[in-house]
Structure 1
Amino acid sequence: MRQTKQPCVYILASQPYGTLYIGVTSNLIQRLCQHRDKLTPGYTSKYAVYRLVQFEMFDGMNSTITREKQLKNWHRPWKINLIESENPQWIDLAVNLGLPPISD
């Protein structure tokens, strides 16, 4: 089955109120699997940041990258408010997208 590209900005967290990571992708499920399988060494694997707590879909990559840059420039409390406005329990949204829960 062929997946269509859907530009997306996403926020990962290590735990509620933990370390945050903001990224951009055109294939959210694939990118989440890469993070969780530690296929790309770096920030997320170093700090165990794998819980999908917020994401926004866009029509084009330019607007997606603009939003990513905006979010990365926000103060931490603003990012937390954004997450909690849609996901107050900080649940792993990836489970709703078909990925298995993260084993702690």
Structure 2
Amino acid sequence: MRKFVYIVTDRNRTSLHVGMSADLIKTLDFYKKMPSLFFDSGQQLTRLVYFEELKTESQALNRFKVISRFTRMQKERLVRACNPDWIDLTIGLDFEHITMSRPLSTQVKIPLTIMS
């Protein structure tokens, strides 16, 4: 079973929150639907800027503990290493989830051709 460790932030990058989840899309939906549960409206943590996929819960928990102890600067370096423009990665996950959840017959099939 897949496990994820992730970092979410608000639109101004004021807060960086490290989390762990078995269903990243469901977790991100929760953040978007319940933003004021933990933070005020100015700190809505709706932007996924970093995530790692791990194979076991123990690997994910260990990685979560490591990243959680990072200073803000270390977290920013981690994000910038793979996402230098701090793009919201949720868009790509939503696309992948929609594509992968369709029956195979309705998925777009791209023919393999050799360009000459």
| TM bucket, shorter chain | 0.7 to 0.9
**RMSD, matched Cα:** 2.1
The residue aligned with 1:58 is 54
Indicate whether 1:67 and 2:63 are aligned.
yes
Q: For structure 1, which runs of at least 5 residues remain unmatched after alignment?
A: 100-104
- Which has the higher mean CA deviation after the structures are superposed, 40-49 or 73-82? 40-49
Deviations 1:22-80 (A, max 9, x none): 00000001111011111782248772111000000000011101111111101111100
Is this contact kept in 2: 1:17–1:80, CA < 8 A? no
Cα distance in 2 for partners of 1:50, 1:61 equals 24
- Ranked by relative contact order (alpha carbons within 8 Å, sequence separation 6 or more), the top structure is 1
Richer in helix (by share) = 2
Cα distance in 2 for partners of 1:45, 1:59 equals 34
Number of residue equivalences:
95
Equivalent of residue 28 in structure 2, options 25, 32, 35: 32
Equivalent of residue 48 in structure 1, options 41, 44, 49: 44
Cα distance in 1 for partners of 2:49, 2:40 equals 14
Aligned to 2:37, the other structure's residue is in SS state coil
Cα distance in 2 for partners of 1:42, 1:79 equals 20
Cα distance in 2 for partners of 1:63, 1:35 equals 24
Q: For structure 2, which runs of at least 5 residues remain unmatched after alignment?
A: 96-116
Is this contact kept in 1: 2:35–2:45, CA < 8 A? no
Q: CA deviation at 1:15?
A: 2.6
Seen in structure 2, the aligned counterparts of structure 1 residues 74 and 36 have a Cα distance that, compared at 3 Å, is same
Q: 1:61 is aligned with what amino acid?
A: E
The residue aligned with 1:83 is 79
- Which has the higher mean CA deviation after the structures are superposed, 41-50 or 28-37? 41-50
Cα distance in 2 for partners of 1:61, 1:45 equals 32
Indicate whether 1:22 and 2:9 are aligned.
no
Larger Rg: 2
Q: TM-score, with normalisation over the residues of structure 2?
A: 0.73
